[in-house]
Chain A
Amino acid sequence: MTTSKTPLAGRTRLATAGAKAATHGTFGPRSRTRQVGSVLFQAVLLLGLSVAVVGLAAMITWAIVEGAPRVNLKLFTNQPSPLDLDDAGYRPAILGSIYVILGVLVLIVPLGVGAALYLEEYADKTRWYNRAIELNVQNLAGVPSIVFGILGVAFVARGPLSLGFIAAAGSITVGMLVLPTVIIAAREAIRAIPSSIREGALALGATQWQTIWRQVLPAAVSGILTGVILAVARAIGEAAPLLLLGATIFVTWDPSFFEGAYTTLPVQIYNWATRPQSEYHELAAAGILVMLVLVLVMNSYAIWLRNRYEQRW
């Protein structure tokens, strides 16, 4: 803006600008390029999403188509019988899965929450060993499950614990596998609680433990629960480590927790899916269907729980 404009020219400019504003408005529609660009971008995102959705849909459809006819009560109550395929069922596998999962739960809830509490509430983050622990927990979450299987064989089934190849050993191994998930989820939940709550409690004369037990943990419960459910959902589907830990092929009796052979649902599905006969494939598909439904229900429950009890700070 030069200052040499005469007043008259300035006034004229203002007048025309005002007139234009009155008729045209300051804002116009978006330019064509921008429009196309934004639509294209949205299309790409949609494409990515549909690939995932279509894949999942295909899998579920196949499972339903193949397995639905075989889904009946017998599936849940009968032993797997190589002789009478029509009457075969997943009963020992289901029981085995239940035992393993219960064992996992007993293990991961106190250990996971305890570890998360230690890391968030008590650990001095400047100490090297605490930082080392933190780093390792993050890493463990990404270790392949077969590695845990090997570790389980070495230390739990044989080695120091020498429990043998029983469901308990499977629980411990799978528990170790999903423990980092719980720790991380619990840490997030605990960390999400603002320090003002802790300060408020401490300032009233509560001890650190009282603060944790009565304020922090109750407020973090939904996050912790979500983490536990997600961990369990993963644990149910683990086959590889359990294969190593004696979830043997053919179990036709009800397993027990502390002794004897056992099997779990994914292992059983695997066994049947690898048989040549098509009836086995149907059974496997039915099993897959059951598992999918189970996992879907559990995850949905976890999400619902999280949304319902989410605390907006």
Chain B
Amino acid sequence: MTGQAHYELGRGSGTVGGGTVGGGTVGGGTVGGGTVGGGALGDGHARHLDHDHRAGLSDTVFELRRVSVSYGDIPAVRDVSMDIRHQSITALIGPSGCGKSTLLRCLNRMNDLIPSARVRGELRYHGQDIYGPRVDPVQVRKAIGMVFQKPNPFPKSIYDNVAFGPRAVGMRGDLEEIVVNALRRAGLWDEVAGRLKDNAYGLSGGQQQRLCIARAIAVEPEVILMDEPCSALDPVSTARIEDLMRELKDRYSIVIVTHNMQQAARVSDMTAFLMISLAADERARWGELIEYDDTATVFTNPSDPRTEDYISGKVG
């Protein structure tokens, strides 16, 4: 939609992305006929993404250009370039150690918490580089929420868990209403309606994870990042959360890291496959983006043989 790119990140004044993304219109600019991975990167990089056959283009939420992350001198991820679309679910898959979680945590500057982490390249959120010098990471994290692998509710009541975010960021409006709405949208309201004062630790694993999702939603982010949200849950809870993701897609953009390829296939619209590359002397290893495309294409007819090998389980 037009004109939505008015996100104010940063301490100073100034609107963000006043038209950098396709001039704020749908179908123009970077995404249409888009080259993912910046085309010119050549062999071994993400292939050219052909959007022509897709009905209805969406805004780009994130533009990553040659993003690299290292911990001190040790590289973790190199040269990732991709566009993440609004109101879609993007899955990051790949073997252990390929840097999917690292990449995910770049998107909301959670890597700042690790002193040795260095992020290079451009990471634009609605056109603004979130690693820019005048950008406040706290504001970044309000707009880009995160749900973690192991459900981590606070040792407080259910109400206080959901209310913490809005209180902390100073959201206006009726707190109770905000909490109830968030719980509703997370599909948890029916189960906790009468017992908001109960301690959150009394909930089951699946409920706790949905509570974490409600908590993240309560601050009204635009993006929700999920780092293997279902890996600690049983299949029924997993299915419920996957259904929830599909519902949330209408309002939020979701990026999910998952080990479970069937989950990526079921849930996501776009899938990015990262793979471990070794240095020539086999000392250093880092992750690279191999392929980024429609989920259906990746899982029925991927263009890179390495992708095919991974998803068929030939290489772990």
Residues of A within 8 A of B (CB): 124, 126, 194, 196-197, 199-207, 210, 214-215, 219, 311
Given the interface pairs A204-B142, A205-B141, A205-B219, the reply to whether A199 lies near B165 with Cβ below 8 Å is: no
Shortest Cβ distance from A193 into B: residue: B155
A-contact bits for B143-177, CB 8 A (1 contact / 0 none)? 10110101011110000000011001100000000
Q: How far is the CA of A120 from the CA of B113 in the complex (A)?
A: 13
Q: What is the CB-to-nearest-CB distance from A127 to chain B, in angstroms, rounded to a whole number?
A: 10
**Contact across chains for A202 and B141 when beta carbons are under 8 A apart:** yes
Given the interface pairs A199-B110, A199-B113, A219-B155, the reply to whether A204 lies near B148 with Cβ below 8 Å is: no
Q: What is the CB-to-nearest-CB distance from B110 to chain A, in angstroms, rounded to a whole number?
A: 6
A to B CB contacts below 8 Å, 23 in the list: A124-B115, A126-B115, A194-B152, A196-B150, A197-B155, A199-B152, A200-B153, A200-B215, A201-B164, A202-B113, A203-B110, A203-B216, A204-B141, A204-B142, A204-B164, A204-B169, A204-B216, A205-B145, A205-B165, A205-B169, A206-B165, A210-B168, A215-B164
If A196-B150, A203-B141, A206-B165 are given as contacts, then 9 extra A-B residue pairs at C-beta distance below 8 Å, sorted by A number, are A196-B152, A199-B152, A201-B168, A204-B142, A204-B168, A205-B219, A207-B138, A207-B168, A215-B154
Given the interface pairs A203-B108, A205-B219, A206-B165, the reply to whether A311 lies near B138 with Cβ below 8 Å is: no
Q: Is B58 in the interface zone, CB < 8 Å from A?
A: no
Q: How far is the CA of A311 from the CA of B142 in the complex (A)?
A: 28
Shortest Cβ distance from A206 into B: residue: B168
**Contact across chains for A204 and B113 when beta carbons are under 8 A apart:** no
Residues of B within 8 A of A (CB): 108, 110, 113, 115, 138-139, 141-143, 145-146, 148, 150, 152-155, 164-165, 168-169, 212, 215-216, 219
Chain A residues, Cβ within 8 Å of B154: 197, 200-201, 215
**Contact across chains for A197 and B169 when beta carbons are under 8 A apart:** no
Interface SS majority for chain B? helix
Interface SS majority for chain A? helix
Shortest Cβ distance from A195 into B: residue: B113
**Contact across chains for B164 and A214 when beta carbons are under 8 A apart:** yes
Chain A residues, Cβ within 8 Å of B152: 194, 196-197, 199-200
Q: What is the CB-to-nearest-CB distance from A128 to chain B, in angstroms, rounded to a whole number?
A: 15
Chain B residues, Cβ within 8 Å of A199: 110, 113, 148, 152
Chain B residues, Cβ within 8 Å of A205: 138-139, 141-143, 145, 165, 168-169, 219
Shortest Cβ distance from A202 into B: residue: B141
Chain B residues, Cβ within 8 Å of A215: 154, 164
Report, nearest first, the 4 A-B pairs whose CB atoms are least far apart: A205-B142, A204-B165, A196-B152, A206-B168
Chain A residues, Cβ within 8 Å of B216: 203-204
Q: Which of B138, B146, B150, B212 contacts A206 (CB 8 A)?
A: B138
Q: How far is the CA of A201 from the CA of B152 in the complex (A)?
A: 10
Shortest Cβ distance from B136 into A: residue: A207
Q: Which of A126, A206, A207, A219 contacts B164 (CB 8 A)?
A: A206
Q: How far is the CA of A196 from the CA of B113 in the complex (A)?
A: 12
Chain B residues, Cβ within 8 Å of A197: 152, 154-155
Chain B residues, Cβ within 8 Å of A204: 141-142, 145, 164-165, 168-169, 215-216, 219
Chain A residues, Cβ within 8 Å of B145: 203-205
Q: How far is the CA of A40 from the CA of B115 in the complex (A)?
A: 52
Chain B residues, Cβ within 8 Å of A200: 148, 152-154, 212, 215
Chain B residues, Cβ within 8 Å of A196: 148, 150, 152
Q: How far is the CA of A77 from the CA of B271 in the complex (A)?
A: 80
Q: How far is the CA of A151 from the CA of B119 in the complex (A)?
A: 49
